[in-house]
Chain A
Amino acid sequence: MADPILSIRGLKKSFGALTATDDVSLDLFPGEIHALIGPNGAGKSTLIKQIVGEIRPNEGTIRFEGQVIDRLDAAARARLGLARSFQVSSVIPDFTVLQNVMLAVAGADGHVFRFHRPALSDRTLTEPARFHIAHAGLSGREGTRASVLSHGERRKLEIAMALALRPRAFLLDEPMAGMGLEGAKQLTAILSDLRSEAPILLVEHDMDAVFALADRISVLVYGRIIATGSVAEIRANPEVRRSYLGEEA
């Protein structure tokens, strides 16, 4: 198999007496969608936050494209191409869709300290931004303020911003949350498409989406990975059925 893009070894994080991440090791390989599932409070978001550098683990190490990134801050990791979407969607509310994505383009190319040229007439910003907006399925909404977008459109905007980072890996925290049936279907198609851009670590509660998209699934319970395998393997795993899927059946 090819080398993993993202490789996590022995990650531990506790909040006081609570161990939110308990010796987690996990790989994300080129071209794959690796789903991370588990009950509420299992530590999925906490794991994502450690990967992107928002919170620091107590132990363990993270490699990204072969490089140890433990000492890099969140902005530096983003510039390496670790693109993230938030569980609760997070955009710049007073910016238009176009400005939001332009911001991500500017952040990715690292040239933020330019004071002169109007950003809106800078084609090195607007052209890639429009391209990513179209790719995420938001064409026609470029001039709309982010705060008035529908929930589903805001999710797509986050995808467009992630694309603008020229991502080497996507970390998506419950992108389907609150999308409704039709929206979830659309987004499933978009995510399936994204796989060709970069591999995806997908945290998701929507099992239809997970089973449709995932190449591999890891199950996190109380901060521990109790199983990793293909869709079929995970569906058949008795421990997983008991501790997670069993709740739904």
Chain B
Amino acid sequence: MNRDLIVNLVIFALLVAVALGAHVAGQGFTVTLATKAAILGLAGVGLNLALGYGGLVSFGHAAFFGIGGYVTGIFASHAANGDPILTLPFTLMGSNEMLGIWPMAMLAAALAALLIGALSLRTSGVYFIMVTLAFAQMIYYFAISWPRYGGEDGLSFYVRNSFPGLNTFDPIQYFAICAGLLALALLFTAVVTQSRFGLALQATRQNEQRSTAVGIRATPVRLTAFVLSAMITALAGALYADLNRFVSPSMFSWHMSGEIMVFVILGGVGRLCGPVAGAAVFILLEHLLGPVSDHWQALLGLMLLAIVLFAPGGLIGLTLKALRRTEHG
């Protein structure tokens, strides 16, 4: 087994161990923290496909996170009050089945990503960052001014959606759902990045001119990665909505986009489990230092700075380097 794989497995196993340990010790709150880490890690795994493997610095992934959340909230609230979501062009009823809601959330995000990607991929570098940010901000203001689904106040739904055979209210069972989807997304990313498509995607990141010279157009490859990436992040948004039984426009805010990017950079850009490690450390810091001081984010900022300057491989890169050093004496 190679070292990368071991590190990835260990990170995932640690997350599961923390949740199980907390469950056995009767600490439901810690289980919920681990669930949050799995969900935010999943959002980062989505972004990592575009950012880490494709070099697409999207500063608008909150748009997809929020879309996933709102689709969940809207379906759940309509399921509660019995009104259809749509009557034209077809009748669409609410639902509280996760298995029905997730595909809808991912489909909605895919359509949004297709549009946003098609326009933003005409630009590159700092303009790409700005265009993706602008789209997310547009959706943010739209959500704020859409009274039907709570506007600024957000939208609560009182019952967590259901999953066949499981009690989603039990923290450890909900964790199992989130960790399961995280594992699937990691597997998906591992497979896709090793495929022909993954080869092309990583080539266009490193040298677009060379890719073109061997007959590969960068834009369709990038757009595909962007859409897949958005779908994964939307799934995380759907899980996040169910975790809190609440969605609000802040899911669309640029802070959220920034946080998702922080998970990726902290953990290691283009490392499979990087975003999971990043999200876990983020939540740990928030939980341990947040109550002590409101300025815990300053410490986070310092950490980020140190990583960007001295360890661009992130926490995973550092770990791998340390392992290599101990192995070689």
> Which residues of A approach B to under 8 Å, CB–CB?
52, 54, 73-76, 78-79, 84, 86, 90-95, 99, 102-104, 106-108, 110-120, 122, 125, 161, 164-165
Chain A residues with CB below 8 A from B200, complex form: 103, 106-107, 112
- Partner of B197 from the list A93, A94, A115, A120 (CB cut-off 8 Å) is A115
With contacts defined as CB atoms under 8 Å apart, how many contacts are there between chain A and chain B in the complex? 100
Interface pairs A-B: 7 shortest CB-CB: A107-B215, A107-B214, A78-B215, A79-B215, A104-B214, A114-B196, A118-B194
Chain A residues with CB below 8 A from B221, complex form: 112
- Would you call B206 an interface residue if the criterion is a C-beta within 8 Å of the partner chain's C-beta atoms? yes
* Total contacting residues, chain B, CB less than 8 A: 25
A16 and B209 alpha carbons, distance in the complex (Å): 24
Q: Provided the pairs A90-B207, A92-B206, A103-B200 are in contact, do residues A116 and B191 lie with their beta carbons within 8 angstroms? A: yes
Cβ-defined contact, B215 with A108, below 8 A: yes
Cβ-defined contact, B191 with A115, below 8 A: yes
A94 and B217 alpha carbons, distance in the complex (Å): 19
| Residue from A94, A102, A110 whose CB has the most chain B CB atoms within 10 Å | A94
- Partner of B206 from the list A94, A112, A120 (CB cut-off 8 Å) is A94
A110 and B195 alpha carbons, distance in the complex (Å): 14
Cβ-defined contact, B202 with A106, below 8 A: no
Least CB distance from A3 to B in Å reads 24
22 interchain pairs (CB within 8 A)?
A54-B209, A75-B217, A78-B214, A79-B215, A90-B210, A92-B206, A93-B206, A94-B206, A95-B202, A99-B199, A103-B211, A103-B214, A106-B196, A106-B200, A107-B216, A113-B197, A113-B220, A114-B197, A115-B191, A115-B197, A117-B196, A119-B198
Chain B residues with CB below 8 A from A112, complex form: 196-197, 200, 216, 221
- Would you call B213 an interface residue if the criterion is a C-beta within 8 Å of the partner chain's C-beta atoms? yes
Cβ-defined contact, B217 with A73, below 8 A: yes
Chain A residues with CB below 8 A from B124, complex form: none
Cβ-defined contact, A115 with B213, below 8 A: no
Cβ-defined contact, B195 with A165, below 8 A: no
Cβ-defined contact, A92 with B212, below 8 A: no
- Would you call B112 an interface residue if the criterion is a C-beta within 8 Å of the partner chain's C-beta atoms? no
- Would you call B108 an interface residue if the criterion is a C-beta within 8 Å of the partner chain's C-beta atoms? no
- Partner of B215 from the list A86, A110, A114 (CB cut-off 8 Å) is A110
Least CB distance from B66 to A in Å reads 26
- Would you call B224 an interface residue if the criterion is a C-beta within 8 Å of the partner chain's C-beta atoms? yes
Closest chain B residue to A99 by CB distance? Answer: B199
> Which residues of B approach A to under 8 Å, CB–CB?
191-192, 194-200, 202-203, 206-207, 209-217, 220-221, 224
A78 and B194 alpha carbons, distance in the complex (Å): 24
A185 and B217 alpha carbons, distance in the complex (Å): 35
| Residue from B192, B215, B220 whose CB has the most chain A CB atoms within 10 Å | B215
Chain B residues with CB below 8 A from A92, complex form: 202-203, 206-207, 210-211
Closest chain A residue to B200 by CB distance? Answer: A112
Chain A residues with CB below 8 A from B197, complex form: 112-115
Least CB distance from A97 to B in Å reads 14
Cβ-defined contact, A84 with B195, below 8 A: no
Closest chain B residue to A161 by CB distance? Answer: B214
Least CB distance from B266 to A in Å reads 22
Chain A residues with CB below 8 A from B203, complex form: 92, 95, 103
| Residue from A54, A92, A102, A111 whose CB has the most chain B CB atoms within 10 Å | A92
Cβ-defined contact, A114 with B214, below 8 A: no
Cβ-defined contact, B202 with A94, below 8 A: yes
A24 and B202 alpha carbons, distance in the complex (Å): 37
A115 and B225 alpha carbons, distance in the complex (Å): 11
Q: Provided the pairs A118-B194, A165-B214 are in contact, do residues A103 and B199 lie with their beta carbons within 8 angstroms? A: yes
Chain A residues with CB below 8 A from B191, complex form: 115-116, 118
Cβ-defined contact, A111 with B196, below 8 A: yes
Closest chain A residue to B197 by CB distance? Answer: A115
Chain B residues with CB below 8 A from A91, complex form: 207, 210
A1 and B212 alpha carbons, distance in the complex (Å): 33
A47 and B210 alpha carbons, distance in the complex (Å): 18
Chain B residues with CB below 8 A from A115, complex form: 191-192, 195-198
A50 and B52 alpha carbons, distance in the complex (Å): 33
| Residue from B202, B209, B216 whose CB has the most chain A CB atoms within 10 Å | B216
- Partner of A114 from the list B195, B212, B216 (CB cut-off 8 Å) is B195
Least CB distance from A206 to B in Å reads 23
A125 and B195 alpha carbons, distance in the complex (Å): 11
Least CB distance from A240 to B in Å reads 31
Closest chain A residue to B196 by CB distance? Answer: A114
Closest chain A residue to B194 by CB distance? Answer: A118
Q: Taking A84-B213, A90-B210, A92-B211 as given, write out 18 further A-B residue pairs in contact, using a Cβ cutoff of 8 Å, ordered by the A residue number.
A: A75-B212, A92-B206, A92-B207, A94-B202, A95-B206, A102-B199, A103-B214, A104-B214, A111-B196, A112-B196, A113-B197, A114-B196, A115-B196, A117-B196, A118-B195, A119-B195, A122-B196, A164-B214
A155 and B207 alpha carbons, distance in the complex (Å): 16
